A and B are shown apart, each in its own frame.
Chain A
Amino acid sequence: MKDKYIVSSAPHMHDKTTIPNVMWNVVIALSPALVFAVYYWGIRSLVLTLLGALTAVLTEALIQKLRKVPVSVADGSAFLTGMLLSYNINPGAPWWLPVMGSVFAIAVGKQVFGGLGNNPVNPALLGRAFLLASWPTLMTSGWLKPKTGNLSGLNDLDAIATNLQDLSPKAYALVTGATPLKVVQSLRDSSFVASVNANAGEGVDIANRIFTNITEMASLKNLFWGNIGGCIGEVSAFALLLGAAYLLYKNIIEWRIPLFYIGTVFVLTFLFGPLKGSGYSMMLPFFHIFSGGLMLGAFFMATDYTTTPLSKNGRIIFAIGCGVLTVVIRLVGGYPEGVSYSILFMNVMTPLIDRFTIPKAFGRIKK
Chain B
Amino acid sequence: MRLRTFPGGVHPHDEKHYSATAPITKAPLPAKVTIHLSQHIGAPSTPVVAVGDEVKTGQLIAEASGYVSLNQHTSISGKVTAIDRFPHPCGTTSLAIQITGDGKDEWVDMVDEADYMNLPTEEMKARITAAGICGMGGAGFPTHVKLSPPEDKPIDTVVLNGVECEPYLTSDYRLMLEHAEQIISGLKLLMKIVNAKKGVIGIEANKPDVIDLMEKLLKKESNLEVVGLKLRYPQGAEKQLIFAATKRKVPAGGLPMAVGVVVQNVGTAFAVYEAVRYKKPLIDRIITITGAPLSKPGNLKARIGTPFSELVEFCGGATMPVGKVISGGPMMGFALPNLDATMSKGSSGLVLMNEKSARLMDEKNCLRCARCVDVCPMNLLPSTIAGAVKYKNLDMAVNAGLNDCMKCGSCAYVCPAQIRLVQWIDTGKIRYAEAMRAKK
Contacts and interface: CB of A to CB of B under 8 A. Distances in A.
Interface of A: 1-15, 17-19, 21-22, 114-118, 254, 305-312, 315, 354, 358-365
Nearest to A253: B369
B348 interface: no
Contacts of B414: 15, 17
Contacts, number: 169
Interface in B401-426: 401, 404, 407, 409, 412-418, 420, 422-423, 426
A1 B239 contact: no
A77 to B, nearest CB: 9
Given A1-B340, A8-B420, A305-B368, 6 more contacts: A11-B422, A12-B324, A13-B13, A309-B370, A310-B368, A363-B404
Given A5-B336, A7-B335, A8-B335, A310 B91 contact: no
Given A13-B12, A13-B331, A361-B379, A3 B368 contact: no
B261 interface: no
Contacts of B114: none
A246 B332 CA distance: 32
Interface residues of B, number: 72
A362 B338 contact: no
Interface of B: 7-8, 10, 12-13, 91, 167, 239, 243, 249-254, 309, 322-326, 330-340, 351, 353, 357-358, 360-361, 364-371, 373-374, 377-381, 383-384, 399-401, 404, 407, 409, 412-418, 420, 422-423, 426
A313 B63 CA distance: 51
B326 A12 contact: yes
B373 A312 contact: yes
List 5 A-B pairs, minimum CB-CB distance, nearest first. A11-B409, A3-B337, A117-B365, A9-B423, A361-B404
A46 to B, nearest CB: 28
A308 B334 CA distance: 35
Given A18-B416, A22-B369, A10 B239 contact: no
A236 to B, nearest CB: 27
A302 to B, nearest CB: 13
Given A11-B331, A117-B367, A365 B251 contact: yes
Given A18-B418, A306-B368, A311-B373, A1 B380 contact: no
Nearest to A19: B416
Contacts of B326: 10, 12
Contacts of A310: 368, 370, 373, 381, 383-384
Nearest to B372: A310
B365 A115 contact: yes
A5 B413 contact: no
Residue among A8, A13, A315, A354 having the largest count of chain B Cβ atoms under 10 Å: A13
Given A13-B330, A15-B10, A358 B400 contact: yes
Given A5-B336, A18-B418, A312-B374, A362 B239 contact: yes
A310 B367 CA distance: 11
A73 B271 CA distance: 57
Contacts of B360: 6, 8
Contact of A1 (B338, B366, B373, B401): B338
